[in-house]
Structure 1
Amino acid sequence: MKHSDSANWHTMRKKTPVKKVNADGFIRIISGKFRGRKLPVKNVEGLRPTTDRMKETVFNWLMQDTRDARVLDCFAGSGGLGFEAISRFAEHTDFIELDKYAAAQIQKNIDTLELNHAQVFNNNSITLLEKGNTGKPYSLVFVDPPFRKDFAHLCCHALETHNWLTNDAIIYVEIEKELDFSAPKEWQLLKEKQAGQVLCKLYQRSALASN
């Protein structure tokens, strides 16, 4: 190969785009008994963990509502919200996650933390919720679905109509800001914040709502 050809070849290599493969990452628990712990997270399509800054905002909102709560983390993904609630002394936390790899990682993290008051369901959240709840209702629920699939509306109305919530349950909803979202009429909006393309809403179910 001539020197000039070699130079051209190296130039072509530099210009050729290289497909980047995103590695698995981690989430960090920001407060409570597991403060500072990093938990592995699988890099799966659509996974969008809540940022530390937003988690701090959300759990400041929930300061009086997490301890001893019975928690349901719908569309759990990394499990970041559910694990944060566990660290802040929730009584019990259930995770629902459709992706089998993400669900398996949540289970590994449950085992790593040696938790006996948490479990993960590898299932479709909407399908599971629409089957109805025959166990204890939940006092704190996280709804953080994949964007632009209109799952938030279906999930929230399934929670309301199929016996998943205590009378005064707190529900956190994280959606894209442009979504035309309508919460069940039994829910009162307590807090709301926009961060970039994300809109966060905190609701409380009316104590007068019937199960």
Structure 2
Amino acid sequence: MRIVGGRFRGRALQGPSSSATRPTSDRLREALFNVLAHAYGDAADGARVLDLFAGTGALGLEALSRGAKFAVFVEEAPEPRGLIRANVEALGVGGITRIFRRDATKLGAALASDSFDLVFCDPPYGRGLAEKALTSAREGNWLAPAALVVVEESVEAAFAAPEGFEELERRRYDASEIVIMRGPS
């Protein structure tokens, strides 16, 4: 695994030692960030990023590499949180990141300063967790008005945008799909 674009392009990221964490592949991340750059006005540049079910932190770290100003990684499991810490340290971005040990489906209320305009949600496939996490983020005021939201899910899961989210596009990559939405205004 590596960062595929931006100022950290080519830098290696630590990956999981087990199959319990499924990081977004380099190829899929590159395709996703190309879409975000060209169809959504370079969405990562200057963004405050929320990375739900962060795993290795690859999505949030890729956004930081491409100009995001701050990222919060939400991950409940200990091994992935350790990977995120190691990757944050290796890239030297500790001052512009926070790691939360939290269930992404039960975020609770955000601090007044914690409003995010770019959200990645890459849960374990096929469990309906993306819908729950986005509902939790909306109810806890984690989302800036009209935040851009990206969900990675298996095609078989038939992800449906929760109430208040507008689906903008859906792209299939093998057995995975990326769904890009706008959050509530």
**Pairwise same-fold verdict (TM > 0.5):** yes
Q: Secondary structure at the match of 1:155?
A: helix
Aligned equivalents of 2:17 and 2:100: distance in 1? Answer: 19
Q: How does 1:38-187 map to 2 (within 5 A)?
A: 38-63=12-37, 64-115=42-93, 116-127=95-106, 129=107, 131-134=108-111, 135-187=113-165
Q: Do the aligned partners of 2:15 and 2:23 also contact (CA within 8 Å) in 1?
A: no
User: What residue is the counterpart of 1:200 in the other structure?
Assistant: 178
Q: For the Cα contact (< 8 Å) 2:171–2:177, is it kept in 1? A: yes
SS of 1:40's partner is coil
Counterpart AA for 1:70: R
Q: CA deviation at 1:96?
A: 1.0
SS at match of 1:181: coil
Q: Which 4+ stretches in 1 moved above 3 angstroms?
A: none
Specify the code of the residue in structure 1 equivalent to 2:178: C
Structure 1 residues 125 and 185, CA, compared in 2 at 3 Å: closer, same or farther?
closer
Give the % identical residues.
32
How far residue 45 of structure 1 moved from its aligned partner, in angstroms, is 4.0
Larger RCO of the pair (alpha carbons < 8 Å, separation 6+): 2
Q: Answer yes or no: is the 8 Å Cα contact 1:107–1:119 preserved in 2.
A: no
Q: Say if 1:163 and 1:203 are closer, same or farther in 2 by CA, change over 3 A.
A: same
TM-score (norm 2): 0.90
CA-CA distance at 1:99 after TM superposition: 1.5
Q: Give me the TM-score of the superposition, normalised by structure 1.
A: 0.80
Secondary structure of the corresponding residue to residue 102 of structure 2: coil
The match for 1:19 is none
Structure 1: which 5+ residue stretches go unaligned?
A: 1-26
Provide the C-alpha distance between the structure 1 equivalents of 2:55 and 2:114, rounded to a whole number of angstroms: 23
Name which one, 1 or 2, has greater alpha-carbon Rg: 1
> How much is the aligned-residue C-alpha RMSD, in angstroms?
1.4
- 1:133 alignment partner AA: A
Number of paired residues?
179
Give the letter for the 2:128 counterpart: D
- Report the equivalent of 2:7: 33
